Structure 1
Amino acid sequence: MSLHLTDQQIDRVIRLSLEEDAPFGDLTSQAFVPAEAQARAALAAREPGVMAGGRVFARAMGAVDAGVLVDLRGAEGAPFQAGETLAVVTGPARAMLTAERTALNLLQRMCGIATLTARYTAAVEGAVSAAGRPIRITDTRKTTPGLRALERHAVRCGGGHNHRSGLSDAVLAKDNHLALVGDLAEAIRQARSRLPHTAHIEVEVDQYEQIPAALAGGADTIMLDNFGLDDLRRGVELISGNALVEASGGVTLETVADIAAAGVDLISVGALSHSARALDIGLDMDLGLNGKLRAD
């Protein structure tokens, strides 16, 4: 799956969001705002953060009326400060008001994820794995249904990396898969025989004693799930470069640096998407392009 966020992915989310929010139009704007009114608004950051989703915001604002124009002021992945103007929006006032909440919901969500991801990546900056590779902070499949492409893009904007896109993208045998097999090493070998030669096999283990079988089966990545730091270090030493080592489970900003110091290659953090707080960003509407909310 391409890492590039496509217009098609963006527009699908926007269409569903607008259908949910204004299935029969915007009654308030139609009742209060003249049809000919033109307006201007500033997209204002109420707190510091990292930009993600500028193109999403712009396409959402223009989805109701192509006459709505968005002048983005910040690049994706760029930090911003409280009080900074992130974009200026001009165009038909009714359309701007109808699209406002959809556009802000998506932008606030994406900026929140990018900002949290940047904090995690900063916490492990400069750390390398036992194999000498820079340690990657990655997301997981614990995303908001329907928003995965947008949330994965936000993780990249924050300096993180993406794990598999979905179940069709890569092989990851987790605890519930392994509960249904007997010999782990043989199960991995059998899986390899059924897969294309290009497929990468990752296996999750939640006990140190499972690692030898995962190695014997030829797993390409071994995920050490909810390991304590001592067992994490022991696991890295036992794997000894024969597979990539991923740490996962309950990772927090307080623990991520110690986990990185254990020598793992990857740290997957579900909190990047399932616990990121929407950033406080607002759309401040002027009275209008001509000083009042109507056309002259």
Structure 2
Amino acid sequence: MKTYGQYIRTNENDIPELDPFVYIEFYEAHIHPYDEFLIDEKPERIYQGITAKEFFQQYKDGFLHFIRPILDDKRLDKLQSELENEGKQICMFNMFILATFLTLRGKSRYVFLLKPQIKDTLTALNKVNKITFTNEDGSCTESSSKNLIKEVINALEAKKDSDKNRYEIEKVVTWDKVSNNSIMQSYFVHDMTVFLNRYFPLKRKKDAQISTKEVELILYLMKLMKLSKEELTNKRYWQLMKIYTKISQQVTDIGHFTIKGQEMLIPMIFIPYNIWSKGKIDWTEYEMPGIDLKEGTTIQF
């Protein structure tokens, strides 16, 4: 496997060595999505997902143990030669580290899980025979009175649409806690595609973002990251890109915040109770998690 000169740096002892962070530093500087705030007259960036600095802290012992397996990987070696024929001198060690970072970035993005609304509670009820009231101190009172149960359910039915424009946050979690693997895969292929397109700004056939060989590289790296059990097909790559488009267009709502007098719009992902309460989220054509935010809608944190 080749090591190209542009990835070699001189260390403090004037010894040439491979710079393993060229790609991740480029991604952080030019691609990584963020929102910027002016706090105490100083710009502060809030990145979507783990930052490069946080990533380096997690791997403070270094990446040397990755070198030999990558250098000995015949599939990566073949892909490197094929991509060089396309005019792209790709450092596979840099690529592996970037892939590790992007995997963590996809998993570490935060989503907001919403509490059930009245209609969600009613949907879950079936032949209720007991009601439990929990006091503020944690103590509980139960009742199996049919009259009481009937009165409570009737009251809920009468008010089932009263909170349709009011939401409350149950908890904030990272994507990997609620999503199935296809969502993690979709983030990975999208982020890697954007990187290859931006870092190697060459004209591809039919004005595609990346070439077929670059798609093969992404899918093989995804397997190395254990996001897939086997190397997926080109067709699956496009399915995953479509899933990412669904997430970005259908699920990301805009939160309007005021921080120290400065108004900001922040992309946020809200997952309704009737979706996340069922377990891992499966993105399909027919079930698109999301809430319809209209003027007057409130979300309580």
TM-score, reference length from structure 1 = 0.21
Structure (1 or 2) with the larger CA radius of gyration:
2
Q: Which has the higher contact order (CA 8 A, sep 6+)?
A: 1
The structure richer in helix per residue is: 2
TM-score, reference length from structure 2 = 0.21
